[in-house]
Amino acid sequence: MFDRHESRPALRAKARHYLVLALGMLAASCSGASSSATTPVGTTPIAVASGSKGRETSAPHSKTRQQAEGVSASLKTIDDFRKKRTLTLGEARRFMLLLVNRDRASMNLPAVTLDEGAAMESGDEHARDMAANGFLGHWGLDGSVPDIRYARHGGHGVVMENASCVTDEQPRGVVENPTIDANGIEDAENMYFNEVPPNDGHRRTILRKEAIRVGIGLAQPVPGRNEIVPPCTSQEFVGPEVTALDVPKEAKFGTDLVIGGESKTSFGGIGITRVDLTPITPAEANKRRSYTYSTPGEMFFPTGYKTRIAVVVKAGKFTLRVPLKGEAYAPGLYEVTTWGESSERGKLATTGLALVRVL
């Protein structure tokens, strides 16, 4: 891929060209994507973090995280990071956050904060998977898509994802506690943001008006002989929580699944969908350039609508009891979604998402 005997500027130019080609293919094929208005990137959980406990939290300046990932307090501006050139994992995340907010500010949009909970953890899972397997796409090698990964790390909402990585389908390890080239981080953000319509899925995701937080996933592939490989990146943008969902992680077949919560917008209904993840190859992940939300296997509506079981709604709070019996709710993994109004995604859209395993 890259010859170490070449000059450093030549190597950097070649790495940039390689990543541009990969992102260009993604943007071109993704321009017609529907619900995931972002650019795809492949992923499969290789090292799945144990995940955040409960709902995700936003911790823009967590001392524990900064200390663990080696964040220097002296790095405050974009130029500070550029001058340092090689960054710790934590510094690379914060450099990309500054670049994202620079780009949002250029379009008069407010800054987003760094989400160090479910969004970052699912982004790391995604980036590590791509780095270890050499592919790009929203689909993970286990058959997962961004919202599924986010939910299994404790997130209860919808994410919009950007990602970048190599696409040669070569297996590599992932460098633990890596040093990240600052140029690689800036190159990735610039290529996301400098896309031109109609092939501008990454740019539109960065400029999502509803976004208030972003989880930044990073992984550095182990280079092969005579290789210099750019870092793989994942940006998981999260909007405000419009539905607080209370769903158990597990429920026993033959009992009632009790779903509760509170909606901060117009409540439309609750959907339940069986999730059967089918593993795919890196080659297949490279071909899948978009994804759509699952169609609920069964929808439940409030009292007054035609529905098998009515959702009880009172003062914005809702409750639903679903008997887990029959083939429709056989043991397995299920996705619970809430539906309501969304200013960005149309009158009726997914406002919340959680996973439950029926035992």
Q: Are 71 and 129 in contact (CB under 8 A)?
A: no
* Reported confidence tier of residue 6, pLDDT bands at 50, 70, 90: very low
pLDDT tens digits for range 137-148: 899 999 999 999
Q: Is 35 exposed, middle or buried (0-12, 13-18, 19+ CB in 10 A)?
A: middle
**Rounded mean pLDDT of 330-336?**
96
pLDDT tens digits for range 170-185: 999 999 999 999 999 9
Angle at 318 between CA 313 and CA 320, to 5 degrees: 105
* Reported confidence tier of residue 270, pLDDT bands at 50, 70, 90: very high
Among the residue ranges 15-19, 97-101, 296-300, the one predicted with the least confidence is: 15-19
Helices (H), the chain: 8-30, 63-68, 78-84, 89-105, 118-133, 146-152, 182-193, 201-206, 282-287
- Percent pLDDT > 90 in the chain is 65
Alpha-carbon Rg of the chain, whole angstroms? Answer: 21
Residue among 294, 295, 301, 299 nearest 267 (CA): 301
Tell me, what's the pLDDT at 180? 95
Q: Is the pLDDT of residue 269 over 80?
A: yes
Q: What's the full length of the chain, in residues?
A: 359
Higher pLDDT, 67 or 257: 257
